[in-house]
Chains A and B, each alone.
Chain A
Amino acid sequence: MQLRDFFTLEAINLDLAAETKDEALKELVGLLGLDEKSRGILFKMLKRRENLGSTGIGRRIAIPHCRSLVVNRLRVAFGRKISGIDFDAIDKKSVQHIFLIVAPPLEVSNQYLPVLGRIAQFGKEPDVPERLTQIETPEEFIALLEDKGV
């Protein structure tokens, strides 16, 4: 399993319009191409997860995630905001890089945990935050994943 297999170019936005955490979550959910009702439910679930504790893991990275019935397979998206978004992250720094992960409650292949783990591992690589700020196209984002072998 490799992360690059889960990311489609349409689900990568390197210039989010969002200014707030809520707007960012909505914008990322919007990258998944779901209908309006499903988007609303998913946003609520992600908010609920954030209410339990921020998914901003520090080093300008956040990984909002949840399981939801509104998706029929594991979905991921990536959004970037160079100027930063306040995400109540553990290190109190604003977040630039946001990885969204959503999985259905019943997953035959059980990919949710490994994907979550790999993205967290990717985010911990010392040079990753810096390199994420430097990429210019969605293709370069995929190439970075490949380069890191995640």
Chain B
Amino acid sequence: MHPQLELLLELQDMHAQRQALRDEPLRKVEEEVFDLRPVEALELLDAKIEELTERLDPTVQRRYVDLSETLDRAVAPVLNGICYGCFVATPTAWSSEAGRNDRITVCAHCGRFLYYVD
């Protein structure tokens, strides 16, 4: 896997975690079952997100920041050839190729970074 793609995946997963701490039902579970303090947890997460963002290469970082500002998520999984960011089919030549996660690819339709899931 491309190291920058790995970073992007981590970042996206951390955004999902961040979202989980903001969504009412899940946050309640985190507080009540796991005794988590959401405000402090969010601060820790944000610091980590910032740190990881700075490790992105300049061009990747620019696109990532732009996408994060305009779309709900900057990285989309591809399942069965469909980009799950915009739900449009990606060219099959890419999605069937081995080592397809070894480079940075973006969706031709929505521009999100793509991660191919089996």
Interface residues of A (CB under 8 A from B): 37, 41, 44-45, 48-49, 51-55, 57, 63, 66-72, 90, 104-106, 112-113, 116-117, 120
Contact = CB atoms under 8 A, between A and B. Distances in A.
- Which 9 residue pairs spanning A and B have beta carbons closest together? A67-B16, A52-B41, A105-B16, A53-B36, A120-B33, A72-B117, A68-B13, A37-B1, A45-B13
Contacts of A37: 1, 6, 101
B35 A90 contact: yes
Contact of A67 (B6, B20, B36, B115): B20
A41 B79 contact: no
B111 interface: no
Given A70-B117, A105-B73, A52 B45 contact: yes
B17 A53 contact: no
B interface: dominant SS: helix
A41 B1 CA distance: 11
B10 A41 contact: yes
Nearest to B38: A52
6 contacts: A37-B101, A67-B17, A69-B12, A69-B77, A69-B115, A72-B79
B117 A69 contact: yes
B9 A69 contact: yes
Interface in B73-88: 73, 75, 77, 79, 84
Contacts of B25: 113
A49 B17 contact: yes
Contacts of B34: 53-55, 57, 63
Interface of B: 1, 6, 9-10, 12-14, 16-17, 20, 25-26, 29, 33-37, 40-41, 44-45, 48, 73, 75, 77, 79, 84, 101, 115, 117-118
A104 B33 CA distance: 21
A78 to B, nearest CB: 17
Given A72-B117, A90-B35, A51 B44 contact: yes
Contacts of B79: 72
A51 B48 CA distance: 11
A76 B36 CA distance: 22
Contacts of A57: 33-35
A134 B65 CA distance: 52
Given A41-B9, A48-B17, A105-B13, 13 more contacts: A52-B45, A54-B34, A63-B34, A66-B13, A68-B13, A68-B16, A69-B9, A72-B79, A105-B12, A105-B16, A105-B77, A106-B84, A116-B29
